Amino acid sequence: MAHVSALTLTELLIKPIKQGLTNVADEYREYLTDGKNVVFHDVDRVVADHAGVLAARYGLRTPDAIICATASIAGCTHMISNDDRFDRVAGIRTLKVSDYV
pTM (2 d.p.): 0.87
Confidence of residue 97 (pLDDT cuts 50, 70, 90): confident
* Percentage of the chain exceeding pLDDT 70: 100
Encode 15-44: b = buried (16+ Cβ within 10 Å), e = exposed. ebeeeeeeeebeebeebbeeeeeeebbebe
Confidence of residue 86 (pLDDT cuts 50, 70, 90): confident
Q: Does residue 101 have a pLDDT over 80?
A: no
Give residues with Cβ within 8 angstroms of 37, minimum separation 6. Answer: 1, 2
What the chain holds in terms of domains, given with CATH numbers, is 2-99 (3.40.50.1010)
pLDDT, tens only, 52-64: 999 999 999 999 9
